[in-house]
Amino acid sequence: MEKRERAYKAHCLVLPFPSQGHINPMFQFSKLLNQKGIKITLANTIFVHNTLHKISSSSTSIAFDTISDGYDEGGLTQAESIEAYLDRFRKIGTKTLIELIDRLSSSGNRADCIVYDAFMPWPLDVAKKFGIVGAVFFTQSCAVDNIFYHVHQGLLKLPLPPESEILLPGLPPLQPSDMPSFISVYGSYPAFFTMVVDDQFSNVDKADWVLCNTFYELEEEVVDWMAKLWPLRTIGPTIPSMYLDKRREDDREYGFSLFNPNSDACLTWLNAKPKGSVAYVSFGSLAELGEDQMEELGWGLRNSNNYFLWVVRVTEAAKLPKGFVEETSGKGLVVSWCPQLDVLANESVGCFVTHCGWNSTLEALSLGVPMVAVPQWTDQSTNARFIMDVWKMGLKAQADEKGIVRREEIANCVREILEGERGKVIRKNASKWKELAKNAVDEGGSSDKNIDEFIAKLVQNY
């Protein structure tokens, strides 16, 4: 009875943007709230809800529901644009969210707060219509959010002059190449530019809370500056407890995956390798490397003469160099997917070669794994700059004039981290960030206290 009463202190309706890199952090945050006594209803789009693999064995009492983006049977056709999708999602999503709130209220489960992904601002308008608390959840770093905000406000003029130095409050001096791709290559991906620059900040001033998936110690200066604008709180890193503070033994997995992980093959292979000897290579669930870059990456891994575990999605496998898997079988293992947290936590892994999306970056920081950053687009160039020059826990592989990172550069970066003198310094810094991430989410840490404050205000309102 006591547990049931705790679960109904207040009720949060959580709405992630429909992609794995957004769903997992928000689901992880939901588990934290739920464990601290808040009732949670997590609502994905109908299509995503029906296609995600539920892999969590957690004894969470989170409820699941759905809204619609207007594409319940599948995604865009080739003839449709991203703009069309986002416009339809806003219209259909608003309608079905209102229906969901009404349905929850009529069943005696009125929502007290909507936690919504910053990529889709329209749930805040619905929350205000119903007199519900609205909490926006940013899934990228505060540094990146700060850049987008300054563009939105017209304080950072585009296009950026080449070779210019960009000075923004709370951030180190940056070059155009350090900017998110939507900013550095002005006019690329206009639909995404609109979403991350215009839509994200269109009504943020009206939000009751601004929650960021980072931790204070990682981004102190920019967090302090942004907190002057909004009721901003850092609540990350949103990593399952068993990889951080270990306060919840049943919390080992995010809970969802768009792919079936090939766990046994990966971990069996890793367990047979010496400590710190393996380069783990993964470019996430969305990145699509060109054939030239795939070839250079593959031969760079081989030329490093180190062990490597390379995740190549089924849709990308045809881009592998001919005969590569067979030729490198003595040193490497290529798999279609694997459990990333378990891999990064394996002591045989000595570096992480990645595009450095924010989730992967936070995972590497939290588990203390040095990184070789090979950024592709969106926020990854900014993350790479911080990884190398601010947090000093990795190297950025430099691309040539064609934008391709050549095999010599890949091999040199991997060798430098796994074998070189610079690698020793990087590993020491990585260990420092691992400890700080753990402390942030542990009892009394900066993120833990922020989450408790958020809950206390919700309960007070309830």
H helices then E strands: how many in the chain?
Answer: 18, 15
Active site includes 22?
A: yes
The helix-helix angle for 122-130 and 82-106 (nearest 10°) equals: 20
| 3-state DSSP assignment of residue 59 | coil
Residue 330 neighbours by CB under 8 Å, 6+ apart: none
Quick one: tokens of 200? 């994200």
The one catalytic residue in 69, 112, 117, 199 is 117
Residues across the chain: 462
Catalytic residue among 11, 22, 49, 150: 22
Q: What is the CA 2 to chain-centroid distance, rounded?
A: 35
54/260 Cα distance (integer angstroms): 10
Token look-up 């995503």 returns 48
Of 265, 226, 215, 279, the closest CA to residue 415 belongs to 279
Compute how many other C-beta atoms are within 10 angstroms of the C-beta atom of residue 234.
25
* Integer Cα distance of 192 and 85 in angstroms: 11
Tokens describing residue 173: 């001096």
Distance of alpha carbon 112 from alpha carbon 65, whole angstroms: 16
Residues 6+ apart with CB under 8 A from 153: 201
Evaluated on CA atoms 14, 114, 203, 29, the torsion sign reads negative
C-alpha distances in Å from residue 290, one per residue of 293, 376, 383, 391, 439: 5, 10, 21, 29, 40
Q: Is 72 designated active site? A: no
Sequence-distant contacts of 420-427: CB under 8 A, at least 24 apart: 422/395, 423/351, 423/370, 425/392, 426/370, 426/392, 426/393, 426/394, 426/395, 427/368, 427/370
DSSP alpha helices (H): ranges in 205-279? 220-226, 263-271
If we measure between CA atoms, which residue out of 111, 108, 110 comes closest to residue 134? 111
Amino acid at 107: S
Q: Catalytic residue positions?
A: 22, 117
